[in-house]
Structure 1
Amino acid sequence: MKKIRSSKVRSTALATHVRVTALTLALGAAWPVMAQTLVAQAATEQQLRETVVTATRVAQPLSDLVSDVSIVDRETIEASGATGVIDVIARLPGVQISRNGGQGSSGSVYLRGAESRFTAVYLDGVRLDSQSTGGVVWEQIPLSQIDRIEVVRGPAAAVYGSDAIGGVIQLFTKKGEGAPAPYVGVGLGNQGTRTVQAGVSGGSGMVDYSLGLSHERADGFSTRVGAAYNPDDDGYRRSTANAKVGLQINKTHRIEGTLLASNLNSQYDGSLTADDRNHHQLRTGGLAWLAQWSDVYKTRVQVTQSDSKYSTTPNFYMTETTLRNYLLQNEWRLGAHLFTAALERREDELHNPATAFVGDLQRDRSQNALALGYGLNQGAHALQANLRYDDDSEFGGKGTGSLSYGYAITPQWRITAAGGTSFRAPTLYQRFSEYGAPGLQPEKGRNIEIGTRWSQGASSVGLVAYRNRVTNLINFGAAGSCASAFGCYENVGRAEYKGVTLSATHRIAGVSLHGSMDWQNPRDLDSGRQLARRAKRYATLGADTMVAGWTLGAELYASARRYDNAANTNVLGGYTTVNLYTSKRLGRDVTLLARVDNLADRDYQTARTYATGGRTVYVGLKWAPR
């Protein structure tokens, strides 16, 4: 019989402190061991060859970057057994998440404690955002189609413009290569979870392609705690299709096209008896022309569009955001120097159809931008400088800049320092809805950070300290100049996101270890209070190994207490959860995967009155001929 999750907070402040402190000591004790262990140089060479696109918007070797970057590849995604994009991202340093229920429910990602809307998100170069709530709608993105994730922590507005106050997350679908490679996967789990996916990829001669289909559903659990909400299970259904096709016209010219469509139908508890449902649609498309004009000069011309639609039944509400981007990017490489120049146009549209309570809302805006970049990698020195000027149809001009420097003290040790400015324009809903204030100004950020990193083979230790201050913060306040008597949006806030992140990886006796510890103080500068749903201390620790052909892995997450409201009166207790996963090749072409989340069946909340799923079990099979 299904266990009803209780709203009672079981973790005491002392117990939480002990758990998080234990992880801190474990990571600290690992530091000297990692610093003294020498392993094969092949691992280092592989890492140095890996390229990253997101940090500067052009492909660069990871070793050349000064930015604070994490990469998650497809092998890691599949081995984890995770079912949601934000569940994978939560494994990374400097990341906290919250979710209003289970899979298919609204979720938030906080990079270095910054608001969820302060992270710019792209899918195959297509910008994703909501001009209603602000920020990407994470539950619309299907993990089944994602092949790689790149996360850049720290402001990147000088490269990407509005939104990138806390960082950038870019998601990539699979690119086809080689002989045709089909695959089929199925999975079952408790809470009525069922998944199926299929696809094929390949490439030969001029054409490469990757096609994928997936469907997942779950009966779920009751997502709201309390007598005022419907006690029925709240499940979801998601269907997704994607395609990526490349045409290599010749050695110097290439055309790429991407399409993705995802439909999500999920239940939520908005009343005591109604079958309340969310309906999500996400459509993305992009077309790019890449030209290599000479050994040192290349260009990229790209046109993209995303449509994000959200509606509810039986109480009708609908909002639809359409985003279009036009990009011309130039890249010159002259020895150790890299010059970039880009022209970009962004167009945002919002449509909220009329309801019984409010009239129709349909607004649009545009931004034209010029972005310049310079990078230097010579000997022990690495430098990255960026300037960008955005001309908004509503606010006029806005300039941003960033400067980063890294110095390799030894081949293993490197120190870095960076500073940058950023902004986010208010959403069209925040300005023109019944709660809106047309005079709202962009939120503005100013960041500084320093870091050090040691790496040797498969072992590494990194330490980053940062401070990001945001002014003109948009909050929802009391009734004022807007049409609503309930409340209005206003530029009255100031926030500071300050902290230290320690991260480490190590391999010893056939076991790969990874972990991170964050100490931070995301706070409202006016009241001095802690920002909602963000803990001051949180940590992750993971390990995996191979035993008799089985990949065995474990993850531990620990969080100190959080508050659910700005007044810091509603406490969300600290928690620790343990997840296990395993996989094994059954013959040549079939792989078995199994995962247990929340092994101890802990009762905790990341959003007040919203339950979490308790212990969940998932088993899957994937057929992929080799």
Structure 2
Amino acid sequence: MFRFVIRSSISLAAIAAAAPVFAEEIPAYPTVTDDDREIIVTATRAEVALDHTPASITVLDKAAIDRSQDIGATELLLRTPGVTISRNGGYGTSTSLRIRGAESDHTVVVIDGVKLNDPASAGGGYNFANLLVGDIDRIEVLRGPQSILWGSQAIGGVVNIVTAEPHNELEGSFDVEAGSRATVSARAALGGKNGPLRWRIGGQTFTTDGISAVAPAFGGEEKDGYRNDSITGRAQIALTDNLEVDLRGYHSSARVGFDSTRGDSEDYGLNSETLGYVGVNFALLEGRFRNRLAYSRTETERDNFNPTRERPQSFESEGINTRWEYQGSFDLTRGIAAIFGVENERARFLSRSPSASLATPVPAFATGETEATSAYGQVSVEPIDGLTIDGGIRYDDHSRYGGQTLLAVGGVWRLPTGTILRASYGEGFKAPTLYQLYSDYGNLALDPEDAHGWEAGVEQHLFTRKLTLAATWFDRTTTNQIIYNSCPATSTDPLCLVPGSTTEQRWGFYSNVSRGEAHGIEATAALHFGKLTLDGNYSWIVAEDRSPGTANFGNWLPRRPRNAANASVSYALPFGLDLGAAVRWSGSSFDDAANTNRLDAYTLVDLRAEYRISDSVSLFGRAENLFDEEYMTAYRYGTLGRSFYAGLRGRF
């Protein structure tokens, strides 16, 4: 069977070709100013020039990340087109990121080539609350269905995180800053190249007194603090000219206070994320045939406590993913290249919620496990100068849902006039999560979610790339969408009974009842004129519930503003002082599926400055939410008000 899959994947990929990416100028503070540099992206699972990729991608490089001065990766991502977030309070509280109106768990997060998600969470996705900037060297935001290359869950898109690699015999960096609410952040990294060894290790610690998770308007008064410690490391050992061992690791440990649904409480949560990777890279045929064999493992542990309870621990869970993979890339001839691979992924979880009463026995863990074996192929062809056509196919054999075949195709045409035309089509699917199947709210009759989407865009470079204008239209439909259904005390629905019981009711269950549709426009503009940089982006996203025959038909999907915009200006003065300002505007949205709780529009203004003391050391400072705007991204939950930060940065 597998031989058939692999042969079919590679041969069909040569005809159809895969779900790639659209180059856009980077909005707000994160702006690439070196216009003559060819930007290379890796979210396509191979190094590809950005101008050769047909679908949509935004790249934030190290210079852009430093310039933004943001502590968390979420704030960086929020400045990019098509991205919205909702957060249940201040730093560290549950944070959901949505790309083009898709569900938050429809985004795949990749750190140094390894998917990082929590199979024990309800949607099986990634909580962006604990992703700090740390030693990140580059962030790539790939929008649209991307399951061809990244498998189940990549319906909305992919966030590809790449940590720094060494370039010198010995190098390092550090950032130290402090500010409002007793916030302190310190980051350092060290690395080097010594003979056959390249290595780098980095760490960050962050702490803040925070704000009340529940907004003051709803009675929130006490502060919910947050602490996060993280470390990343990587090493490559060249055994021969064509053979290399690759080791990568990441660990994050966090503690955050949060409030109950009724108001202030002493609840807090502990979160631990660990990622490990070992791979072997080897090249054949004078480097034209590159191969990678790898094993990776991710583990996420979450525990909640309330010291006022008779039994303090209120929740515990663990989610583990293990993956074996082979990937090959082959430059067949000039203008024709192929990527193909085989993967085996196993996910398992355990979860339970002990009662507050010591008289009630601690329940057994809800547990579950799934396995998926996949093969994929993608071919990129350049039939004439300036035109690239990509296409691909993927086959997944899921232990519970059997076979699934997905296709994608796209093209990009680079014209002599500085015009770039792009179009792509991609398919995606997401199997029900272990939590949705096997938890106390599980439903074993669930079907996978399916999606398909397309986009078309144009990008125009003028005045030797000093001015760039771009616009993209996208359209996506998701069927069999899984939602949570609450169970009233008087419900007679059989699914409101605990599985295996004829009398014991449960709070709710998951079911396939939704159909979601999203379409819209992403527009960007950037001007680089000497020391002055202006840029911005605007997103119009119509994300609606289109479930036939339901009360919510035509309603906005929750927490998805239809309109959002970012703009920034920066200027570099000749004596080493850089000044900048950024504005973010978000239109109104609704917090619930019934569209009864409205979240008002808001505008946030930030200022920043950086002074270069020397070529390697800088002082920096910023003011966020300068006008102390009151707003909510999730109903009843607080957000950060006016904040000031200052720090010292070194690169050597």
- Whether these two folds match at TM > 0.5 is yes
State the shift of 1:65 in Å.
1.0
1:324-403 map, 5 Å = 324-333=322-331, 334-353=333-352, 355-356=354-355, 358-377=363-382, 378-403=384-409
Q: Does 1:618 align with 2:645?
A: yes
State the shift of 1:407 in Å.
2.2
Consecutive unaligned residues of structure 2, counting only runs of 5 or more, are: 1-24, 26-32, 307-312, 356-361, 488-492, 499-504, 548-552
Q: Does 1:604 align with 2:631?
A: yes
1:146-185 map, 5 Å = 146-185=136-175
State the shift of 1:468 in Å.
0.2
Over residues 467-517 of structure 1, what are the superposed CA-to-partner deviations in whole Å (9 max), with x where a residue is unaligned?
Answer: 100000001124442525322100000000110111111112521122111
In structure 2, the partner of 1:468 is 476
In structure 1, the partner of 2:13 is none
Q: Secondary structure at the match of 2:105?
A: helix
Name which of 423, 433, 445 aligns with 1:427. Answer: 433
Over residues 341-388 of structure 1, what are the superposed CA-to-partner deviations in whole Å (9 max), with x where a residue is unaligned?
Answer: 100111111111462375311211110001011111241311110100
Tell me if the contact between 1:230 and 1:274 (Cα under 8 Å) persists in the aligned partners.
Answer: no
In structure 2, the partner of 1:446 is 452
Tell me if the contact between 2:367 and 2:439 (Cα under 8 Å) persists in the aligned partners.
Answer: no
Over residues 293-324 of structure 1, what are the superposed CA-to-partner deviations in whole Å (9 max), with x where a residue is unaligned?
Answer: 12321111121111111111125201111111
Aligned length: 582
Moved more, 137-146 or 155-164: 137-146
Tell me if the contact between 1:229 and 1:269 (Cα under 8 Å) persists in the aligned partners.
Answer: no
Name which of 276, 283, 301 aligns with 2:274. Answer: 283
State the shift of 1:225 in Å.
2.3
Kindly provide the amino acid, as one letter, of the partner of residue 225 in structure 2: G
In structure 2, the partner of 1:244 is 234
Tell me if the contact between 1:336 and 1:376 (Cα under 8 Å) persists in the aligned partners.
Answer: yes
Tell me if the contact between 1:127 and 1:325 (Cα under 8 Å) persists in the aligned partners.
Answer: no
In structure 2, the partner of 1:21 is none
Q: Secondary structure at the match of 2:74?
A: helix
State the shift of 1:531 in Å.
0.7
Moved more, 265-274 or 326-335: 265-274
Over residues 218-240 of structure 1, what are the superposed CA-to-partner deviations in whole Å (9 max), with x where a residue is unaligned?
Answer: 01111212587552111111111
CA distance in 2: counterparts of 1:274 and 1:157, whole angstroms: 41
Q: Does 1:255 align with 2:254?
A: no
1:231–1:358 Cα change, 3 Å: farther
Tell me if the contact between 2:320 and 2:349 (Cα under 8 Å) persists in the aligned partners.
Answer: yes
In structure 2, the partner of 1:559 is 586
In structure 1, the partner of 2:94 is 106
State the shift of 1:403 in Å.
0.5
Q: Does 1:304 align with 2:309?
A: no
CA distance in 1: counterparts of 2:189 and 2:117, whole angstroms: 27
In structure 2, the partner of 1:500 is 521
Moved more, 202-211 or 523-532: 202-211
State the shift of 1:557 in Å.
0.5
Tell me if the contact between 1:140 and 1:281 (Cα under 8 Å) persists in the aligned partners.
Answer: no
State the shift of 1:161 in Å.
1.0
State the percentage of identical aligned residues. 26
Name which of 112, 117, 124 aligns with 1:124. Answer: 112
State the shift of 1:537 in Å.
0.8
Tell me if the contact between 2:215 and 2:639 (Cα under 8 Å) persists in the aligned partners.
Answer: no
Name which of 568, 572, 581 aligns with 1:546. Answer: 572
1:576–1:372 Cα change, 3 Å: same
State the shift of 1:165 in Å.
0.5
1:346–1:277 Cα change, 3 Å: same
In structure 1, the partner of 2:68 is 80
Kindly provide the amino acid, as one letter, of the partner of residue 559 in structure 1: S
State the shift of 1:43 in Å.
4.7
User: What TM-score, normalized to structure 1?
Assistant: 0.90
Consecutive unaligned residues of structure 1, counting only runs of 5 or more, are: 1-33, 35-41
Tell me if the contact between 2:295 and 2:323 (Cα under 8 Å) persists in the aligned partners.
Answer: yes
State the shift of 1:108 in Å.
1.1
State the shift of 1:95 in Å.
0.9
CA distance in 2: counterparts of 1:66 and 1:129, whole angstroms: 27
State the shift of 1:287 in Å.
1.1
Kindly provide the amino acid, as one letter, of the partner of residue 192 in structure 2: G
CA distance in 2: counterparts of 1:161 and 1:509, whole angstroms: 43
CA distance in 1: counterparts of 2:242 and 2:264, whole angstroms: 62
Over residues 572-625 of structure 1, what are the superposed CA-to-partner deviations in whole Å (9 max), with x where a residue is unaligned?
Answer: 000111111111211343211111110111001111111111011111112333
Q: Secondary structure at the match of 1:521?
A: strand
In structure 1, the partner of 2:410 is 404
State the shift of 1:438 in Å.
0.6
Kindly provide the amino acid, as one letter, of the partner of residue 204 in structure 1: N
User: What TM-score, normalized to structure 2?
Assistant: 0.87
Q: Secondary structure at the match of 1:92?
A: coil
1:499-518 map, 5 Å = 499-518=520-539
Tell me if the contact between 1:308 and 1:321 (Cα under 8 Å) persists in the aligned partners.
Answer: yes
Name which of 577, 591, 602 aligns with 2:604. Answer: 577
Tell me if the contact between 2:43 and 2:158 (Cα under 8 Å) persists in the aligned partners.
Answer: yes
